[in-house]
Chain A
Amino acid sequence: MSMTKRRLSLKSLICIALALIFILSLTGCGTATTSNVRSYRMPNNMESIATQVIDENDSFSLEWNEELACAFIRNKQSGKIWSAPPYDIWEEGGSSSISSAIYIEYYDTVTGVLEEARSSDCVDEGTVSVTVKDKLLREEIYFSYAGIMIPIEYSLNASGMHIEIKASEIREKSSVKLISISVLPYMVSTINTTAKDSYLVIPSGSGAISYPVPDLQNGARSLELAVYGTDPVQQRVEYKVEDVKVNLPVFAVKAKNDGLLGVISSGAESAELHIESGNIRTEHSTVYPKFTVHGYDRFEVQMQNYEDENVYNDKISLSQIYAVDYYPLCNNEATYSGMATKYRENILKLDNNKANNSIYHISFIGGTMIKSFVLGIPTQKFNSLTSFDDAKEILTELYDATKVIPNASLYGFGKTGVDIGEIGGGFNFASQLGGKKGAEELEKFCEEKEIGLYTDFNVTAFSKSGSGFSTLTDVARTASLQYSYYYPLYKNIPMQNMSLAKIRCLKREKLTDAVDKLLNFANKRVSGISFSDLGHIAYSDYRNEDYFVRNNLPNQVSSLLETVKKAGHSLSLKGANAYAAIYADSLTDTPLDNGGYGIFDESIPFYQMVFRGSSALYSKAVNLSSNTTNAILNAVEYGVYPSFTLSAEFDKKLIDSYSDEIFSSAYTETSKKLICDTVKKTAKLYNAIGNSEIISHIKNGTISTTEYANGIVIYVNYGNKTVDVSGVTVNAGDFAFTERSVSR
């Protein structure tokens, strides 16, 4: 009897387990297939309004043109009209391909095809409803064949036009998914021309200009760049090199004496900038934002053959608002310098930092993990590169040699060095580098010598459980609801090296915990905090609707950085995005080029024009460059202080390291000489420009001229011949500057 009972209970247990598994599976299915988007329903009658002024102020008026069914803004000062379609083709009635207020991409779950649609077709079909209420123009665009409705609201403010689309008001049929919305595709555009009085401005890297020269050979040059870089949580099958990214949510056009600056005031983290230059079909060049609505992953799947396929998340972030502000500019403001000033002063409202910034920066690499063996069994061992004492010694040597106080950052001084291990490097210092005592002594030393010292912590990515964060439970989820992880790529082929540790992104809800723990640790030991990931990497987490498609990341990071500042720490950020950069005392690894994209014709110091003066800007490591002379000249041209990455020791064992900085970071007589020569050569210049903002920048062939608010003008000669510029002699491969008409 007892045996029978035991058997029965075993059977029951198995049944219960199976039932649980079944329920869990169903739960999974439920999450993945229930849409939270409101159902699509087209009204019987569409409302419309006549041509009229919706709102106006002293500078601008927001108007509606019934015939073209488009809203536009008129700059009263210059008379310029900015609209989609571009005003210059109004008389031709507007080409349908460029007269749309929005383009959409949607996925038809029945056919399995990703389709595109334009609002101009809805205008032709009469499925656009337009209303005005309280000076707010509302356009509801019904894509009847797709079963999607997008509401756009236009309003006027003191500086220009504001448009927004509330995700909660979007409607879609259950069989379709709205993937993206491109907003006012030909608003920020100019007619193609070979004259250099018009251009597109894109904040790729330091900033870029693309001239609207008709591309007669290939039809157009086009590019899509994700604002704030690619999402590490999104799964993909192909790898695109992205050394620099779009750090600012802005885009602009200069069209002769007028300009239009677009600023993505909400939802930038979900946006891509679509750039099209010299399109010979539309005869226009344009830049516009494309917002992703339903997040997705891309897989290799085995159907009949292997194919790449997107897997879309069914839900969208209902709290998301996609908003863009358009600022019409003219005359002096309608240059990239003027646009940068507008963004800096009127939008970010940045103050000038009155503190004395150090004119060079040293990054130390603490250590890295290397493979070692215990009885022939592989294990990871910490390999020390720069101890706290080494750092102290190097800083002393450099100070003695240059008599200039540097700024310093410590990277990889945690338990796993520069390799990603526990969150925050385990919130501890590696004992091999001197541990807490070593750190304390270095802090004290730097305080005495007035050296700004920042210790770097990684709080978003981890590969090991520890410090209260688990690789099992605290990992962000992908759009297809899987646990996100990735491996570093091989050094030579575009494939992930699965023999390395999996890197996971911390679930977004836990970011606050991570920063709290960091502050608990740092408040007693560290004066300056540096983040090389927070502020640089933007990622999604499909655990929580509020974090879909990277939603809310700027707000979340801003509040975390504010907490760090409130705790009394100075803050340094590496490769920071705009939402984070405004909190930083120093910005390292600031981009000095536009990323080298073929669509761009020139690099411009747009990033530097925005942030110079409010934070100390430091370049990428000069000593890691294969052309140090150019790297220094580049830093000088952009008003950025030079930076150097050093490690006290280098060993052959490190050839296996996946860090692309270590191998040329050894502190040797050569690197010491490079640092000292650079500092001595540039000290006078940097002291002269101080915290002044850049007010203009011109590049003419191999000569660049940068002018600062305090009257200093710098000339940089990249050529191989000495030249005279405005009475100043600039040697080949050198720079010179004038101090209020007094040449050096």
Chain B
Amino acid sequence: MKIMTCPLNGPRNISEFSCFGPVHAAFDPAQVSDAEWTHYLFHHENKAGVIREWWRHTPSNYFFIAERNTVTDEIVATYGPHDRAAQGVSA
């Protein structure tokens, strides 16, 4: 079983976590076209490489962001949702 490092609770079994999908830049659904909206709903990038996702540590209900490499199956980094600026990523 894989280990994931929770920014709040440290390294834990992956069975304690659940994935909440890719991190998207915030946007107002009312301001996007139908095509953009359906693309957001139904087209997933499925990128080979490092992706950013929302994860939850279930017992503590803590949400954070994980970067993982879908090719090597490595968890590259995990950090709290408010550390994004620190990671050089625009919200």
A and B found bound together: no
Interface residues of B (CB under 8 A from A): none
